[in-house]
Structure 1
Amino acid sequence: MMEPVLRVDDRGASPVEGRVVYDLPKLVWNLGMISAAVVFAPLTFSIDAFILFLVLTYFSLLIGHSAGMHRMMIHRTYECHPLLEKLLIYIGVLVGMSGPYGIIRIHDIRDWAQRKAECHDFFSHKRGYFLDVWWQLTSKFVFKHPPTVNIEAKYLSDRFYQCLESTWRYHQLLLAVILYLIGGWAFVVWGIFVRVSVSVVGHWSITYFCHNPGPGKWRVKNASVQASNIPGLGLLTYGECWHNNHHAFPESARIGIERGQCDPAWRFIQFLSFLGLARNIGKPRALELRDDLKKIS
């Protein structure tokens, strides 16, 4: 099993002290996408465009975000050839949430804050749903005493990832040109504006409900925020809804670890392994290494 990646240096940092402020680039990007989707989607609806939206949304989130960015890039739960790794992360960028460095920072700071004894509501998702989603779509947290996120040199020194980080928004333009040539403006609206809007809002919605207590058998000791499993949403969320499992075993490439917990992203990783394209696949750590956990059911 690969060693977990510890990127956050929190010496002198506080996960509570600070304030939520508007992040203008994030606000313009997300609200711009949502506004365009609301205005133009009804005017351009067609069965073909809707099917395109469903396919692109599902598989970009499944392959790019869940299997690529989340389980491989962030948690290092499996390894693959550098070219395949770049392809998966590129598909993750096309989801439209952030570049690779931005995704790592968003995830790792949130995870660090949630595992502390105290955590600001911005990271714990303990306010109301609509306020929380508004925060995540439009705002950032400015720390009084910020932690430092040290991204691995393999990413920071790679020109491909540097380019993706600085240009991640513009890659929608290339995809838009391709979609326009295939199906006109309807494909652009549903394949870009609607897809990005649903992907980003959907991501933060699942994040919200997964961090409000519910079914789950594991409690992370000394952590202020505990995660939930949400039964019945495995297929829709690529297995990410089994978030109580993920908090307990972030080293595992499989998140739906219990019987009957559907985990499509894990099936994709298994498929890569079958083809010889994935290796060093992480599993839940052994019983003797679970001192940080308490089994509650």
Structure 2
Amino acid sequence: MEMTAEVENTGTRPREVRPLHGPPRGTWPQVATYIFILGPFIALLAAVPLTWGWGLGWLDIALAAFFYTATCLGVTVGFHRYFTHRAFKATRSLRVGLAIAGSMALQGPITHWVADHRRHHAFSDRDGDPHSPWAFGSSPVALVKGFWHAHMGWVFDRNLTNAERFAPDLLADRDIVRVHRQFGLWTAVTLIAPAVLGGLISWSLWGAVTAFFWAGLVRVSFLHHVTWSVNSICHMIGSRPFAARDRSANFWPLAILSMGESWHNLHHADPTCARHGVKRGQIDISARLIWFLEKFGWATDVRWPTPKRLANLEKRASA
């Protein structure tokens, strides 16, 4: 349901609350959204029969793993923990590098991604959340519909989240505005670079073709579905040891593939925390990267969890 501009009483003087949605996505950007979501998805579906006997080599696996890790961390450490939640401060070069790496995951331009996610936290699992699986109710049919909506259906909505309301800091950052506008360039790089490397390393055209397929298209689509699973699965099933305002949950099978993002309950309980996997055995690769960045002085003022804060959140959850 669209929320229009309204007057909010702050106790001093009324101020205008900007609408959730900004101008709708244009026709060609909408077409591009379908192409770069459904194209890699078709490649992912084709990957299963292609693995039987031909078309996949160790070079393809290595390149896919490299680009998956780099672009996934660009989203988790960059788009999510830094740009959306400011879990740490970053040098200018790190800030730009994280913005580029996240853009190469093909999950949308940075300002759109951040605005969507901040809106998700503002209205998590309530009216206004762009991708709650509980949007249509809790009956079996409603949950099936909600799962589809939360997982990928919401991506095709032409109504963009209002960045002026949810991401004004990024709109005021010239470096980030430049990276946002270069999304087409980074789309090309993330798909062409694996093909170029595959061709040069194998010194063959076929090496370029298979690298483009596996380390380009399949890798992009696989990362899409891992990220979207945090939106869908991690708001439906899993453990909830910490008190949160919504149905966010920890889902351990996704922990490594999502670089620690599937420890989702703690994240929603304490959104600005730089580490999501805080219990023994909870692997959080993104937090480990932030730790290294801090050691090198590229990340500062990191918001690490404290025992007192975690104990309070656990106590509230059990109350």
Which runs of structure 2 are paired with 1:1-297 in the superposition (5 Å)?
A: 11=8, 24-39=31-46, 42=50, 44-61=55-72, 63-114=73-124, 118-119=126-127, 123-126=131-134, 127-128=143-144, 129-139=147-157, 149-153=165-169, 155-183=170-198, 184-220=208-244, 223=245, 225-284=246-305, 287=309, 294-296=316-318
Q: Report Cα offsets for 1:78-121 as digits up to 9, x if no partner.
A: 11211111101210111110111011111011111217xx4368
Partner secondary structure for residue 238 of structure 1: coil
CA distance in 1, matches of 2:152, 2:78: 26
Moved more, 32-41 or 229-238: 32-41
Alignment RMSD: 3.3
Q: Against the structure 1 CA distance between its residues 138 and 152, is the aligned structure 2 distance closer, same or farther, given a 3 Å change threshold?
A: closer
Q: Against the structure 1 CA distance between its residues 170 and 230, is the aligned structure 2 distance closer, same or farther, given a 3 Å change threshold?
A: same
Q: Which has the higher strand share?
A: 1
Does the 8 Å CA contact 1:113/1:123 hold for their aligned counterparts?
Answer: no
Q: Report Cα offsets for 1:222-258 as digits up to 9, x if no partner.
A: x3x3210113432222111111100111121011112
CA distance in 2, matches of 1:103, 1:79: 19
Larger RCO (CA under 8 A, 6+ residues apart): 1
Q: How much has 1:52 moved relative to structure 2?
A: 1.4
The amino acid of 1:48's aligned partner reads L
Identity %: 21
CA distance in 2, matches of 1:97, 1:281: 25
Q: Against the structure 1 CA distance between its residues 276 and 34, is the aligned structure 2 distance closer, same or farther, given a 3 Å change threshold?
A: same
Does the 8 Å CA contact 2:68/2:219 hold for their aligned counterparts?
Answer: yes
Q: Against the structure 1 CA distance between its residues 29 and 109, is the aligned structure 2 distance closer, same or farther, given a 3 Å change threshold?
A: same
TM-score, normalised to structure 1, is 0.79
Gapped regions of structure 1 (runs ≥ 5): 1-8, 16-21
CA distance in 1, matches of 2:114, 2:99: 12
Greater Rg over alpha carbons, structure: 2
Equivalent residue for 1:6?
Answer: none
Q: Against the structure 1 CA distance between its residues 288 and 161, is the aligned structure 2 distance closer, same or farther, given a 3 Å change threshold?
A: closer
Partner secondary structure for residue 124 of structure 1: coil
Q: Against the structure 1 CA distance between its residues 34 and 170, is the aligned structure 2 distance closer, same or farther, given a 3 Å change threshold?
A: farther
The amino acid of 2:39's aligned partner reads G
CA distance in 2, matches of 1:88, 1:55: 16
Number of residue pairs the alignment of both structures matches: 274
CA distance in 1, matches of 2:150, 2:172: 34
Moved more, 186-195 or 161-170: 161-170
Does the 8 Å CA contact 2:105/2:220 hold for their aligned counterparts?
Answer: yes
Gapped regions of structure 2 (runs ≥ 5): 1-5, 9-16, 21-26, 135-142, 199-207
